[in-house]
Amino acid sequence: MDAGRIAIAQTCLDAAHDGSLSFPEIVGKLIAAGFEGYMVDYRRDTQTYYLPDSDSVMLDMPSSAGASAATFDAAGVEKLVR
């Protein structure tokens, strides 16, 4: 993957954690850069970004201060995404 796309993915990852961009803004930047999807692995603290040709880049996420929740809170996730 080229350095420009990796930089965009890193910018979006950073923005997701520091709140400098909204979720729709992040998704728009990723789509504009040609990404078709991404996967977050909270156990490994990584995020992988995928291109349509199966190329991908895995980036380290900042470690979270808290523990994973015992149950999934769909309403809470919806509220954060909106």
Separation between Cα atoms, residue 41 and residue 47, nearest integer Å: 6
List pLDDT tens digits, range 36-45: 999 999 889 9
Contact 52, 37 (CB under 8 A): no
Q: Which domain holds residue 72?
A: 3-81
Q: Total structural domains in the chain?
A: 1
Tell me what pLDDT residue 82 has: 82
In the chain, DSSP finds a helix count (H) and a strand count (E) of 3, 3
Separation between Cα atoms, residue 73 and residue 47, nearest integer Å: 21
Res. 22: pLDDT tops 80: yes
